[in-house]
Amino acid sequence: MNCGNDDNFVFEIIILCSISLVIAEWTLKLLPLLRACKNSKSLKQIKLCHQKVVTLGLQNDIYLCKNLISLYLSCHLYDHAKCVLDTMENPCEISLWNGLMAGYTKNYMYVEALELFEKLLCYPYLKPDSYTYPSVIKACGGLCRFVLEKMIHACLIRDGLTMDIVVGSSLVGMYAKCNAFEKAMWLFD
């Protein structure tokens, strides 16, 4: 065994741990700032915080990104919110996608919500969940995309999510909006 390699390995582990601690420390400092920005809704403060996140190389930190997306959505800056997700190297947390989709549908941006859902499906490690589907269902209902609605419903049956109260209510509402009252009543019963 070569002791030099073991020493290098230990040194690399120490460096990685130090970097992780610095990142965690900055995350803990920036999260309260982001929350304060949400209360003030100052665009200047928001952009300064976002710039600090990027400057520190923390644009892949899930907690910071989740808060940035929420912050931009609360200020109706949808392109900025999407930019946060788009600039992440590996947007592997489904809650990031769910938050952005919910923001889109809440503001009647149904096409954008469905485009985001389609993009989400391109990541094999991401699986839509019971928080994803209500936004997708609302977007389908808002656009009266009946064929897509049936496909989504089939996915929900396959994944066993039709018994979820929020998902089931969303399905009933979606079918009712598209004048498929028999289907809505069938689901309701």
Judgement on whether residues 53 and 103 belong to the same structural domain of the protein = no
CATH number of the domain where residue 100 is located: 1.25.40
Task: Answer yes or no: do 33 and 84 share one domain.
Answer: yes
Q: Which of 91, 115, 133 is where one domain is finished? A: 91
- Report pLDDT for 2: 44
| Domain match, 49 and 113 both | no
* Mean pLDDT, contiguous 10-residue spans, the chain (189 residues): 48 44 60 75 82 86 90 92 94 94 96 96 92 93 85 88 86 80 71
pLDDT digits (tens, 9 = 90+) for 67-93: 899 999 998 999 999 999 999 998 989
Domain that holds residue 40: 1-91
What is the number of structural domains in the chain?
A: 2
Helix segments in the chain, DSSP class H = 3-40, 43-55, 62-74, 78-86, 94-106, 110-120, 132-143, 146-159, 165-177, 181-188
Are residues 37 and 115 located together in one domain of the fold?
no
Check whether residue 97 and residue 189 sit in a common domain: yes
Residue that terminates a domain, selected from 57, 91, 125:
91
Q: Are residues 125 and 144 in the same domain?
A: yes
Greatest alpha-carbon span in the chain: 74
Task: Provide the pLDDT for residue 40.
Answer: 72
Give me the sign of the Cα torsion angle 108, 114, 115, 117. positive
| Per-residue pLDDT at 46 | 83
pLDDT of residue 105: 96
Looking at the fold, whether 51 and 101 belong to one and the same domain comes out as no
Non-local CB neighbours of 150 within 8 Å, separated by 6+ positions:
none
Terminal Cα distance for the chain, rounded = 70
Residues 84 and 104 both lie in one domain: no
Last residue of a domain, one of 71, 91, 111: 91
Q: What is the pLDDT of residue 189?
A: 64
Give me the DSSP letters along 151-172.
Answer: HHHHHHHHHT-TTSHHHHHHHH
